[in-house]
Amino acid sequence: MTTATRQEVLGLYRRIFRLVRKWQAASGQMEDTIKEKQYILNEARTLFQKNKNLTDTELIKQCIDECTARIEIGLHYQIPYPRPIHLPPMGLTPLQGRGLRSQEKLRKLSKPVYLKSHDEIS
């Protein structure tokens, strides 16, 4: 990992902790705020620990993009949880080949950047 990449990753980690300090739940309930803050901290720690030994610059860049996207989406929609995607069953496959294998492949390719690691830790 280069020094610039390391600084970018550490900056994202600090940004998440600053975000947690200021976070308020959309419902306004103190219990919801505490749960959401704890979720953000646990999610960040889990993902950063899981990816701490990455050396491939392309994978590191993907993780940085995912982190940035999740922060921006969380701030915009005021929810810390990843937004689900809603795809109709068999809606992505070509008309001539409606096989399950091709459906799974297309679903994997169509997954947004902010959900790439969510299924791995859930």
Q: What percentage of the chain has pLDDT greater than the value 70?
A: 67
**How many CA atoms, within 13 angstroms, populate the side-chain half-sphere of residue 1?**
17
Give me Rg for the CA atoms of the chain. 17
Written as six digits, the tokens of 75 are 């701030």
pLDDT of residue 19: 95
Q: How far apart are CA 106 and CA 75, in angstroms?
A: 29
Q: How far apart are CA 59 and CA 56, in angstroms?
A: 5
Q: What percentage of the chain has pLDDT greater than the value 90?
A: 47
Question: Given a cut of 50, is residue 48 above it in pLDDT?
Answer: yes
How many degrees, rounded to 5, is the angle at CA 122 between CA 53 and CA 43? 60
Question: Given a cut of 50, is residue 45 above it in pLDDT?
Answer: yes
Question: Given a cut of 80, is residue 74 above it in pLDDT?
Answer: yes
Torsion angles phi and psi, residue 85, rounded to 5: -105, 145
